[in-house]
């Protein structure tokens, strides 16, 4: 798990994975109320999977969709996920809302393609054909269907489509790719994140939406949404040489394991550790 502060993974041969197809390893603590597990899958294709479980009933935790520099109206500067983590005082963070353009250096202006709500302020409107994940003012998680009024939202991030709704799987005709997912348990206590790497033959070839929904079910989720993916797929946490480390291996034409700047993230912080 060695990584530089600006988001580069060490070589793949240094990684130590659980036995292939043995399921997700036992949850290990990342910090107060936050746990991490991973799995190595060979069927129906190679998949390296990373999961995070967050206890929404832990009063010390705050789940946020932080807003970075930008002009509003869905426009924001893209930052590396590790930069989001360090600047916002986050314990763990994952890429969230799709955006354009997506092949950009850090700090370039982007346009979010979906909902973004930070501290009750909606600064990017939902897309008419895309679903979203939200936290209500009382802290309860929810999924909002496209063309539906999101109502009162404390924090929110748009994605693509819901893949799991009240225990029922939904499919999309999408080819396997690196993808991030967010979901929650039926009782609303546990928030689950899933990151599956892709586009790396011989290491991890990606996941289909329905397969991601099935993994979320295995983790304990009853509801789940597919977030942004491709080269934006990233999961970061505290630690490393400069306070942040990359847990997954993003695909990149330069080196498999380099973070791409993203327009926003889902994050978790201690309430006493704000930006």
The answer, yes or no, to whether residue 230 has pLDDT greater than 80, is yes
Band (50; pLDDT cuts 50, 70, 90): very high
- Cα–Cα distances (Å) from 121 to 70, 160, 244, in that order, read 14, 21, 27
Give the pLDDT mean for 2-27: 83
For the chain, the domains span: 3-270
pLDDT at 4: 39
Distance, in Å, from the CA atom of 82 to the CA atom of 141, rounded to the nearest integer, reads 25
Is residue 138 packed enough to be buried (19+ CB in 10 Å), middle (13-18) or exposed (0-12)?
exposed
Euclidean distance between CA atoms 74 and 118, whole angstroms: 12
Q: What residues have CB less than 8 Å from 48, skipping those under 6 apart?
A: 17, 38, 39, 40, 41, 196, 197, 203, 204, 248, 249
Looking at residue 204, the DSSP 8-state letter turns out to be B
243: CB partners within 8 A, 6+ apart: 5, 85, 86
**C-alpha distance across the termini of the chain, in Å:** 25
What percent of the chain shows pLDDT beyond 90?
Answer: 85
Q: What are the tens digits of pLDDT across the range 28-42?
A: 999 999 999 999 999
Specify the pLDDT at position 7.
67
Span 137-177, pLDDT tens digits: 999 999 999 999 999 999 999 999 999 999 999 989 999 99
**pLDDT tens digits for range 76-103:** 999 999 999 999 999 999 999 999 998 8
In this prediction, residue 6 carries a pLDDT of 55
Spatial contact of 162 and 225, defined as CB atoms under 8 Å apart: yes
Query: Which pTM does this prediction carry?
Result: 0.96
Q: How far apart are CA 271 and CA 52, in angstroms?
A: 19
Q: Grade residue 197 by pLDDT with cuts at 50, 70 and 90.
A: very high
Of the candidates 185, 144, 156, the one whose C-alpha atom is nearest the C-alpha of residue 264 is 156
> SS3 letters for 212-235?
HHHHHHHHCCCEEEEEEEHHHCCE
Rounded distance between C-alpha atoms, residue 222 and residue 206, angstroms: 22
Record the tokens describing residue 37, joined without a space. Answer: 């597990």
Q: Is the peptide bond before 44 cis (omega within 30 degrees of 0)?
A: yes
Residue 2's pLDDT is what?
34
* Minimum mean pLDDT range among 71-75, 221-225, 228-232, 248-252: 71-75
């Amino acid at each position: 798990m060695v990584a530089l502060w600006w988001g580069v993974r060490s070589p793949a041969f240094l990684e130590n994975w659980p036995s292939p197809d043995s399921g997700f390893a036992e949850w290990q603590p990342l910090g107060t109320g936050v746990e991490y597990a991973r799995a190595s899958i060979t069927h129906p294709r190679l998949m390296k999977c990373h999961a995070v479980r967050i206890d929404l009933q832990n009063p010390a935790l705050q789940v946020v969709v932080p807003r970075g520099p930008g002009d509003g109206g869905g426009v924001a500067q893209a930052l590396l996920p590790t930069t989001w983590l360090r600047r916002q005082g986050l314990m763990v963070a994952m890429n969230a809302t799709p955006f354009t353009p997506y092949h950009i250096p850090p700090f370039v202006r982007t346009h979010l393609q979906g909902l973004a709500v930070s501290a009750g302020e909606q600064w990017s409107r939902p897309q008419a054909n895309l679903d979203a994940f939200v936290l209500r003012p009382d802290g309860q998680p929810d999924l909002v269907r496209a063309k539906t009024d999101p109502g009162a939202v404390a924090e929110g991030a748009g994605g693509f489509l819901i893949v799991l709704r009240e225990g029922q799987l939904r499919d999309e005709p999408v080819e396997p790719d690196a993808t991030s997912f967010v979901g929650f348990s039926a009782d609303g206590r546990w928030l689950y994140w899933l990151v599956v790497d892709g586009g790396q033959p011989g290491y991890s070839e990606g996941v289909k939406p329905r397969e991601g929904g099935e993994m979320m079910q295995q983790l304990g989720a009853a509801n789940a949404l597919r977030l942004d993916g491709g080269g934006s797929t990233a999961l970061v946490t505290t630690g490393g040489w400069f306070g942040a480390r990359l847990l997954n291996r993003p695909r990149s034409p330069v080196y498999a394991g380099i973070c791409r700047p993203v327009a926003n993230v889902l994050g978790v912080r201690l309430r006493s550790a704000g930006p």
